[in-house]
Structure 1
Amino acid sequence: MNRRRLFFGILGITSMVGAAMAQQQPTKIVVPFAAGGGTDAYLRLLADELTKRGARTIVENKPGGSAVVAADYVAKARPDGQTLVMSFVGMLGTNTVLFDKLPYDPQKDFTAVSQVAYQPTIIVGRTELPYKNIKEMVDYARANPGAINRGSPGAAILSNLAPVAFEKSLGIRTNHIPFNGDAPAIQAMLSNSIDVYGTSITSSLPHIKSGKFRVLGVMDARRLPQVPEAPTFKELGYDFEAPLRYYLSAPAATPRDVVARLNKSINEVIVDPAFVERARAIGMEPQGGSPEDMERLLNAEIARWNPIVKSLNLPKAGQ
């Protein structure tokens, strides 16, 4: 074999090895919250199921800055379908209101892949508190201004913004303490550092079942099957709903055929009865759809929440 043939033979083998290694690289779902929270648990279920079906998928946590850290990371990632971010109305909508400057452009830097789940915002409180539902909490806040410490998984997260909007509508105030996700906030609740917490049922369910937390109110049209005894806000006289919708987004230049492949794989998992059962057991309602469905839902959320957040006149966060 002459040197030229040997060179091109080696080059061909190297290319084949490189292609094989690229195929072995897992798809990464970046979660903008600390590990151990509700959305983290759900996306790990999703990643495990995708892996079982041949699409090796991992979860990487990048908390910080009300999802700015994760969004910036994925916005700058290679648009090859191997890096996705768990997105939501805060990251792609209300952050534009709350931050003077963002290192990413929510409108230009991402492309829709799929909605993946839905659940309502809830307010939970420690069971030893002197109020047992949201109406009693409102009465307590009026009688004791500034006495309630309220946590959230981030200042720009809907499970903070919805309670702030609710409080403003009633003329009450709690002391807001933000965290980098559900897990550290739950620990603060358990150590009595905060009294109530705006969150979802997923992260708080084990502590509700153990008797440490109580759901004070559900911001939805119906009660949650996991805690059927917990009243909705509407039942207590407050016409206020705040759905939490979770999406997956990819870098903007990701090819359409790659997005279509990802969407198909994700939606096949989301409608699987065994997966739905596992998801509902932790308080998540799997919901999928096309990229176009995701865009419609997200745009509707932005149209609702951006004006509400602007009306709150919250201080801008610097970068």
Structure 2
Amino acid sequence: MSFTRLMRRVLCGSALLVTGIGAFAQANITRIVVPFNAGGATDGYVRLIAEEMTKRGIHTFVENKPGASGMIAGDAVARSKPDGLTLFMGSNSTLANNVVLFQKMPYDPAKDFAPVSHIGYQPSILIARASAPFSTLKDYVAYAKANPGKVNRASVGAGNITNLAGVMLDKAAGIQTTHIPYTGDPLAIQALLGDQVDVYVGSLTIVLPHVKAGKLRVLGVFDDQRLEQLPDVPTLQEAGHPLNAYAWYCLMAPAGTPPATVEKLNKTVNEILQDKDFAARASQLGVVRRGGTPQDLAKFIQSEYDKWAPVITGLGLAKTM
């Protein structure tokens, strides 16, 4: 099944589920609040999880609340009743990076949420419009050096890895780009396709059809290994810039959610992540599945904060927003 067909199936199923919410008015319906627009690979992955949760008796739908580097969605969940019926799709930015970037946040990632499960991650890639005056990472760096500030670089938020990875590359390569934020992958990619921006750091799956069609180019991979789908595209390390960056995702409940409820949700999500059919569909979306206990997730989030906080501070971005 192609990525496009898979996304249509996921979105159609989610639409039917939302339509049927009225019929479940007296029942317990679980919602997963996603801090991005609908249509991206991350949103599609969470919708697959929601679909599988529903099959297992936890009727679930996805609600998209993009904006403010994910803090609108995070705040909505943090203020929700801690009954296990409202979950937050947390990420690098919403649970770790924003703490360092922003002077004030509407919620405390360490105090206002109860970890449920680490659900997956995606390696970051540097993508360029096909009509850009560079076709390799080396050419991109050379062009940006010769034209400081003229390269428009898209992201889905200042605290998101789509921006931070780009900023890291700017610093490492000694170049200056102009940051253009969007509220989700689809809008950023449309800007690339429309020649409104020059580059974007994102994940492979949502852009792969455009890459195969020659409409977009992948210049480099922010990981230790090349991508299986694009074996000719070098890692940034191979190109002389040893930078790793990936987007990770997890499910969080409001603080105070009963431990038994968290345990039930964790068990269900782990069963889904280990399901062979789900694994195949997750692979099509380019997501590497994770899993584990709530305690594992809490330790992971802390390790990510410890990793990125000094990077953000070293880039001069701490408390600048």
Alignment TM-score, normalising by the size of structure 2: 0.89
Return 5+ residue gaps in structure 1 as ranges: 1-19
SS at match of 1:42: helix
Correspondence for 1:223 among 222, 226, 236: 226
Is 1:235 the counterpart of 2:224 in the alignment?
A: no
CA RMSD in angstroms, aligned pairs only = 1.7
Q: Structure 2: 5+ residue runs without aligned partners?
A: 1-22
Q: Could you say if the C-alpha distance between residues 145 and 317 of structure 1 is closer, same or farther in structure 2, counting changes exceeding 3 Å?
A: closer
Deviation at 1:23, TM superposition (A): 7.3
Cross-structure match for 1:161:
164
Change beyond 3 A, Cα 1:274–1:67: same
Give 1:175's aligned residue. 178
Partner of 1:299: 302
276-285 or 58-67, which deviates more: 276-285
Mean Cα deviation higher: 237-246 or 307-316: 307-316
Question: Which residue pairs with 1:110 in the alignment?
Answer: 113
Compare 78-87 and 232-241 and name the one that shifted more: 232-241
2:249 maps to a residue whose letter is: Y
Task: Tell me the alpha carbon deviations over residues 153-182 of structure 1, each in whole angstroms, 9 at most, x when there is no partner.
Answer: 111101211210221122211111001111
Distance in 1 of aligned mates of 2:68 and 2:250: 19
Give the Cα separation in 1 of the matches to 2:193 and 2:150.
18
CA distance in 1, matches of 2:122, 2:180: 22
Q: Which residue of 2 aligns with 1:131?
A: 134
Residue 78 of structure 2 corresponds to residue 75 of structure 1: yes
The Cα of 1:276 is off from its aligned counterpart by 0.9
The separation in 1 between residues aligned to 2:26 and 2:305, in whole angstroms, is 36
The answer to whether the aligner puts 1:41 opposite 2:44 as a matched pair is yes
Note the C-alpha offset of 1:228: 2.5
Q: Percent identity?
A: 49
Aligned counterpart for 2:32 among listed residues 29, 33, 39? 29
- TM-score, scaled to structure 1: 0.89
Deviation at 1:205, TM superposition (A): 2.2
Task: State yes or no: 1:145 paired with 2:148.
Answer: yes
- 1:268 is matched with 271
How far off its partner does 1:232 sit?
Answer: 1.0
Match of 2:56 in 1: 53
Distance 1:23 1:249 in 2: 24
Instruction: Name 1:210's counterpart in structure 2.
Output: 213
- Cα offsets for 1:252-280 (capped at 9, x unmatched): 10111111100110011111111111111
Contact 2:78 2:112 in 1 (8 A): yes
Looking at structure 2, the residues matched to 96 and 32 of structure 1 have their Cα atoms a distance apart, in angstroms, of: 16
